[in-house]
Amino acid sequence: MSSATTGTPTSQRRIAFATIIGTTIEWYDFFIYATSAGLVFAQLFFQPAGKEIGLLFSFATVGISFLFRPLGAFLAGHFGDVIGRRAMLVATLVLMGAATTLIGTLPTYAQIGIAAPIMLLVLRILQGLSAGGEWGGAVLMAVEHAPANRRGRAGSWPQLGVPLGFLLASGVTALMTGVISPGDAYREWGWRVPFLLSIVLIVVGFVIRRSVEESPVFAEIAERGKQASIPIVSLFRRHWHLVLLAALVFVGNGTLGYMTTGGFLNSYAISVQSLDTTSVLVAAVFAAVIWFFSTLLAGYLADVIGRRITFLIGFALQAIVVFPIFWLVDAGGLTGLYVALLLISTGLGLTYGPLAAWYAEIFPASIRFSGVSITYAVGAVLGGAFSPMIAQLLLGATGTTAAVSAYLLLATLLGAGATLCLRDRTGIALGPDNEAEQASGSTMFVPSEHTGELAVTR
């Protein structure tokens, strides 16, 4: 790898801070919606449908936004590979913040009728477009600046923004429901405050992200004029099977992850087990803290034992806990919920922390932004998009959480199976001089040309 493809220690620290802050803000915005969908949107925007159907509609809007994440990934991936990573980081942050702030100003169904849920859905779609493009830019800025032996840890930096965003969203909502606007006050006006706070966070994130340097890998590609003219076409023509397999890896993580971040487990604990709303949100904050540290640990493990092995350990833990988590909530009340969230969040971190480095290392440099972004978005659609709604349907149809757990187990096994089909590429050179090596052998079905000393498996 040329010296141009690794950032300086100072730039790496700046990138770490910028990616963590930026992704935290992005995902705070995204999770505020999911949290509110499980708590009040059924009453405010889908009132005529009744409680149960209204909740299904509310969860459906969480999922529908995921259908637009691939479009956001296509757009951001194309321009990220053509004009650079940094520009996309700024653009997606501004789009997400604007959509989130506007949700906080929306009139309800009682005020303007059917126009209210329509406007809510439009703004949620804009959130989906932003989320689809943001992640790829953030992880590539982090990984492409890092030395080869620290990419797992560097890639976990933007990953940390997801549990931090969830923590911030749950914490602010808990503050609103328990202290500032409890009871009817939260439904009347308190739910708007977390959305309106986004405008302050976006200004901070915009300033920070504008200050970072462009990825050294892309700078080298641009200097040599090696940008792909239509990177998406090259991606699907040559690497469609890689996109599918890597997306299924994320399905194994996202399906279980959106049981918590998508609002289903919160809604189940509150509506079915009659736990206090604020207490459940505080438990969600606890889950975010565990998820944060397990993600950090996974980034370290990915550099020590490899991306693939770390994933398999995480999926094994997920498979073990998918049935007990609901038994714990049913039998143990609030204490059981805490234990369930501890188990979920540990497995989630182990199957999320190494994702950024592994994705970056399996796609060639000239189409890497497109590959990483689109794969992540496809995995989110197949895994996280409608998992809260599917879980709600399964619970309603069977009257038991066993069907939900079986669904989560199936997704986990799919993720583990896809992991076994991919080759660990730890230490592979990421610069444009190594495109041929990068383009071959990412799956176990094709021989690998990667012979780097840092490789853990081949």
Residue 453, pLDDT score: 43
- Asked whether the predicted pLDDT for residue 264 surpasses 70, the reply is yes
Q: Give the confidence band of 380 by pLDDT, cuts at 50, 70, 90.
A: confident
Section 271-300 average pLDDT: 90
With respect to residue 454, please indicate whether it lies within any of the assigned structural domains: no
Q: In which element (H, E) is residue 182 found? A: none
With respect to residue 456, please indicate whether it lies within any of the assigned structural domains: no
The segment with the largest mean pLDDT, out of 52-61, 137-146, 402-411, is: 402-411
Q: Give the confidence band of 140 by pLDDT, cuts at 50, 70, 90.
A: confident
With respect to residue 259, please indicate whether it lies within any of the assigned structural domains: yes
With respect to residue 171, please indicate whether it lies within any of the assigned structural domains: yes
108: left (phi over 0), alpha (psi -120 to 50) or beta: beta
Each residue of 223-246: pLDDT tens digit? 665 555 677 888 888 888 999 999
What value does the mean pLDDT of the chain take? 84
Long-range contacts of 191-195 (CB under 8 A, 24+ apart): 191/36, 191/39, 191/40, 191/44, 192/104, 192/105, 193/104, 194/32, 194/36, 194/104, 194/169, 195/32, 195/36, 195/100, 195/101, 195/103, 195/104
Mapping DSSP to helix (H, G, I), strand (E, B) and coil, where does residue 388 land? helix
Least confident of 243-257, 294-308, 352-366, 435-449: 435-449
Each residue of 386-429: pLDDT tens digit? 788 888 889 989 989 999 999 999 999 999 999 999 999 998 98
Here the CATH number for the domain that contains residue 95 is: 1.20.1250.20
Each residue of 78-131: pLDDT tens digit? 777 777 677 777 888 888 889 989 999 999 999 999 999 999 999 999 988 888
**Residue 209 domain boundaries:** 3-438
With respect to residue 449, please indicate whether it lies within any of the assigned structural domains: no
Residue 182, pLDDT score: 83
- CA 293 to chain CA centroid, Å, is 16
pLDDT-above-90 percentage for the chain? 34
> 244 near 371, Cβ under 8 Å?
no
Q: Give the confidence band of 454 by pLDDT, cuts at 50, 70, 90.
A: very low
Mapping DSSP to helix (H, G, I), strand (E, B) and coil, where does residue 422 land? strand
**Domain tally for the chain?**
1
Section 182-206 average pLDDT: 86
- Asked whether the predicted pLDDT for residue 447 surpasses 80, the reply is no
With respect to residue 450, please indicate whether it lies within any of the assigned structural domains: no
With respect to residue 443, please indicate whether it lies within any of the assigned structural domains: no
Residue written as tokens 């009347």? 188
Neighbours of 51 (CB within 10 A): 12
With respect to residue 448, please indicate whether it lies within any of the assigned structural domains: no
